[in-house]
Structure 1
Amino acid sequence: MEKFALSVTGYDGLFRMLSKLVGYGVVLGSSIVKLPQIFVIWKARSVAGISFAMFYLESLGYLVNFGYNYHLQLPFSTWGENLFLMVQDFVILAFLYRYTTGFSARFWACFSSLLAAVVLIIGGCVPASVMSILEAGSIVIFASSKLAQVTNNYRLKSTGKLALTTFGLSFLGSVARVFTTVQELSDVGLLLAAAWINSILNGVITFQILVYGDQLRSGALETSGKEYS
Structure 2
Amino acid sequence: MATSEEAVLTSFMDPLKDILVNYLMPEKCYDEFFLHFNFLHVTCLKIIISKGLGIGIILGSVLVKLPQILKLIGAKSAEGLSFKSVLLELFAITGTMAYSIANSFPFSAWGEALFLMFQTIAIGFLIQHYRGSTIKGLGFLVIFFALLAVLISPFTPMSVVTTMQASNMPAIIFGRLIQAGTNYSNGHTGQLSAISVFLLFAGSLARIFTTVQETGDSLMVLTYIISSCCNGLIAAQVLYYWNARPALKKKTE
Q: Give the TM-score normalised by structure 1.
A: 0.88
Amino acid at match of 2:146: A
RMSD: 1.6
Identify which of 26, 30, 53 aligns with 2:84: 53
Amino acid at match of 2:158: A
Distance apart, 1:64 and its partner CA: 1.1
Larger Rg: 2
Could you tell me which residue of structure 1 aligns to residue 210 of structure 2? 180
How far apart, in 2, do the equivalents of 1:26 and 1:189 lie? 20
How far apart, in 2, do the equivalents of 1:20 and 1:175 lie? 15
How far apart, in 1, do the equivalents of 2:68 and 2:102 lie? 30
Could you tell me which residue of structure 1 aligns to residue 221 of structure 2? 192
Counterparts of 1:131-210 in structure 2, within 5 Å, are 131-186=161-216, 188-210=217-239
For the 8 Å contact 2:125–2:138, the answer to whether it is kept is no
Could you tell me which residue of structure 2 aligns to residue 3 of structure 1? none
How far apart, in 1, do the equivalents of 2:153 and 2:193 lie? 35
Runs of 4+ in 1 over 3 A off after TM superposition: none
Amino acid at match of 1:182: V
Provide, for residues 46-94 of structure 1, a one-character-per-residue CA deviation record: whole Å limited to 9, x for no partner.
Answer: 1110111111111121111111101111011111111100100111111
Amino acid at match of 1:118: L
Could you tell me which residue of structure 2 aligns to residue 4 of structure 1? none
Q: Give the TM-score normalised by structure 2.
A: 0.80
Counterparts of 1:75-86 in structure 2, within 5 Å, are 75-86=106-117
How far apart, in 2, do the equivalents of 1:140 and 1:117 lie? 20
How far apart, in 2, do the equivalents of 1:88 and 1:94 lie? 10
Unaligned stretches of 5+ residues in structure 2: 1-37
Provide, for residues 18-71 of structure 1, a one-character-per-residue CA deviation record: whole Å limited to 9, x for no partner.
Answer: 101101111110111000000111111111101111111111211111111011
- Matched position secondary structure for 1:125: coil
Identify which of 152, 157, 160 aligns with 1:122: 152
How far apart, in 2, do the equivalents of 1:25 and 1:112 lie? 31
How far apart, in 1, do the equivalents of 2:110 and 2:172 lie? 15
Unaligned stretches of 5+ residues in structure 1: 1-6
Greater RCO between the two (CA within 8 Å, min separation 6)? 1
> Percent identity of the aligned residues?
33
Identify which of 17, 29, 32 aligns with 2:60: 29
How far apart, in 2, do the equivalents of 1:134 and 1:23 lie? 23
Provide, for residues 149-175 of structure 1, a one-character-per-residue CA deviation record: whole Å limited to 9, x for no partner.
Answer: 011111111100101100111111100
Amino acid at match of 1:201: C
